[in-house]
Structure 1
C-alpha cells in the first residue's frame, strides 16, 4: 500500500460509515414505531440514536464547509428545530391535557441547554486550548438579545397577564406572540446571512485558529447534496428514536417519583446532541463564533419556530397550552441573560466564563430533578 493510499483509507471508511449509519437508524425507527419494545430493542435503538447524532454532525460540517459561515450553522439549527417542532406537536396531540406543558418545558430546556450547556462547553474547550476565546461581540450580542426577548415574551409574560386565568395566553395574545416570534426570527436570519454577515464570521487571530478543513477544497455539488439528504435522514432518526426511548424515560421518571418536566429535559438533551458536538468541534478549532452561532441560533429557532407552530396547531389540539414559567425558572432565565451579556459584550472569554455557564446549566438540570 502506498503512503497516499494509507492517508485516504480513514476518510473513505468514515464516509462509508456516516452514509449507512443514518439509514440503519431510520430502518430501526421504522421497525420500532408504534410497538411495545423490550429492553434489548431499546438498547439497540439507543446505539442507533448515538450513531445518527455523530453522522448528523459530520454531514452538517460537510454542508458548512460548502456554503461557509454563518449558513452552515444555520442549516443544522433550523433542521433540528423543524423536526423538533414536529415531535412536540405529535406528543401534544397524543397526550391531551397531560401534555399541556410539553411545549413550554421543551423550549425552556432548549434555551438552557444552548445558552448555558453548549456555550459553556464551547468556552471550556476553546479556552483550554487557546487560553482566551475570541469572537464577534456585535453578532453574538444581537443574537443573545433576540434570545432574551423571545424567551421573555413567550415564557415569562404568560405568568403575569391577567386576561386569562393560570399560566396561559388568550387566543389574541398567543397570536401576537406567535407573529412577533416569527418576525424576530426572520429579522435575525436576514441580519445574520445578508445585511451583517461579517458579524457572524469566525474571528481570525492568526494563532492556531485554522482546522484541517480550512485548507481542504470544498466538497463538490454531488457530495453536498448527498450530505443534505443524509443530514435530514439522520435528524429524523435522532428525533424519532428519541421518541421511541421516551416511554422508557417516562417510566423511569415515574418510578423514581421525579417531576414530569424531566422527560422534556431528557428529550431536549438527546435532540440537541448534534449541535453540542458540532459546537465543541468548532471551538476546538478556535472557531468560537461558529459555536456561538450554533448555540444562540438554535435557541432562536427553537422559540421562533416552535411557538408559531404550536399556536397554529392549538386550533385543533385539545387541552390547554401552558407557556408561563414558575418563579424558579424565571430566576434561572434572568441570571442566564445577565451572565450571557457579561460574557458576550467584551468579545473575549476565559475559562472562568465557561465554568459559570456550566454551573448555571448544572443548576438547571439539578433543579429539574429536585425542584
Structure 2
C-alpha cells in the first residue's frame, strides 16, 4: 500500500471524519443563539466527538504506554476544561462567582466516585475481584485529598475575606501549592516510581503491555494525537455552544445554579469516563484508576492556578469555599476511597458504595 493509499484509508474512517464535523459545528455555532434543531445537531456532533476522543486517546495510550497514556488524556481534557471555565466566567459577572468551584468540585466527585465506582463495578463483574496497585493509587488519592482541602475547603474557614473567598495572597499560595504538588506527582508517576501505576495481574505482578492487541500503525500513531486535540476542542466548544440551552433549562426548572457546573463537568469528562470503562472491561483497572484520579488531580492542580491568573483581568468575586454539605461529601469520598484503595482489591460492594456517594452528590446538587 502506498503512502497516499494509507492516508485515504485513514481519512475515510469515522474517527477522522467525525472530529472534523464537530469542529465545523463549533465554528458555525460559536457566539450565536441556536434554535432547537441546531442545538440537537450540535449535540450529536458533541456525542460523536466524545467517542472519537476515546478512540484516539486509546491509540495514543497504546503507543506511549502507561502511565503516560492516562496522563496525556487527563491533562488534555483539563487544559480545555480550564479554557471553558474562564470563557464562561468572562461574561458571567457575579453570577459566575461560584462556577469554578462548582465545576472543579463536580469533577472531583464525578472522577473519585462516579468513574471509580463504575470501573470497579465493571472490573468486579468481569473478574469477580478488581485488582490494582494500592501504592500508586493510594498516592494519587492522597494528592487529590490534599489539593481539594487546600483549594476548596480552606476558603470556607479563612478570615481575611468574607463569603468563602481567598485573599489575593492566599489564592497565590493555593495556586503555587497546587502546581508544585501536581508536578511532584507527575514526576513520581512517570519517572521515579512508574511501576506503581502500571496494571497488575491477580498475583500482583506488573503487566507492561496490553495483551492480545496489535500496536497502532505508524500513520495512525502520528494522526491520533492531532485528532485527539481536535476532538477535545470540539467536545468543549460544542458543550459551550449548547450551554445557554442548558442554563435556560436549569433556570426554567427552578434548579440551583450549581447544576450548570455539574453538567459542564459531566460533558467534559465523558471521554475519560468511556476510556476508563473500556480499560476496566479489559481487566486493566489500574489504568481506569489512573484516568479517574489523574483527572481529579489535574482538574484542581491546573484549574486553580489558571483561575488565579485569570483573576487579574476578571471582574467580580471568586468563591472557592465549599458549603457544609459538599464538605461532608468530600470527607466521605476521601475516607471511603482510602478504605477501597488500601487492600489493592475491590468487589462489587466497593463499586456500589462509590456510586452511592455519587448518586447522593447528584441528588443534593438538584435538591440542596
TM-score of the pair, normalised by structure 1 = 0.94
C-alpha distance in 2, partners of 1:17/1:206? 39
Deviations 1:213-270 (A, max 9, x none): 5333422443212000000000000001111111111111111110000011011101
Residue 227 of structure 2 is aligned with which of 210, 222, 230? Answer: 230
C-alpha distance in 1, partners of 2:182/2:130? 27
- Corresponding residue for 2:133? 136
- Corresponding residue for 1:305? 302
Residue 369 (1) aligns with residue 344 (2): no
Residue 124 of structure 1 is aligned with which of 121, 124, 128? Answer: 121
C-alpha distance in 2, partners of 1:216/1:343? 30
Structure 1 unaligned residues grouped into runs of 5+: 1-11
- Corresponding residue for 1:4? none
List structure 1 segments (4+ residues) > 4 angstroms apart after TM superposition. Answer: 12-15
Q: How many residues align?
A: 358
- Corresponding residue for 1:74? 71
Residue 160 (1) aligns with residue 157 (2): yes
Residue 359 (1) aligns with residue 352 (2): no
Deviations 1:61-116 (A, max 9, x none): 00011000000001110000000000111111111111110100000000000000
C-alpha distance in 2, partners of 1:126/1:193? 24
- What SS does structure 2 have at the residue aligned with 1:254? helix
Residue 267 of structure 1 is aligned with which of 264, 269, 274? Answer: 264
Please report the RMSD computed on the Cα atoms of aligned residues, expressed in angstroms: 1.7
- Corresponding residue for 1:100? 97
Shift of 1:15: 7.2
Residue 340 of structure 2 is aligned with which of 337, 340, 343? Answer: 343
The 1:247–1:228 alpha-carbon spacing in structure 2 relative to 1, beyond 3 Å, is same
C-alpha distance in 1, partners of 2:351/2:195? 25
C-alpha distance in 1, partners of 2:225/2:203? 32
C-alpha distance in 2, partners of 1:15/1:300? 37
Within-5 A mapping of 1:216-255: 216-255=213-252
- Corresponding residue for 1:18? 15
Residue 108 of structure 2 is aligned with which of 88, 107, 111? Answer: 111
Structure 2 unaligned residues grouped into runs of 5+: 1-8
Within-5 A mapping of 1:181-330: 181-205=178-202, 214-330=211-327
- Corresponding residue for 1:28? 25
Query: Contact 2:53/2:228 (CA < 8 Å) preserved in 1?
Result: yes
C-alpha distance in 2, partners of 1:129/1:15? 34
- What SS does structure 1 have at the residue aligned with 2:229? helix
The 1:13–1:220 alpha-carbon spacing in structure 2 relative to 1, beyond 3 Å, is closer
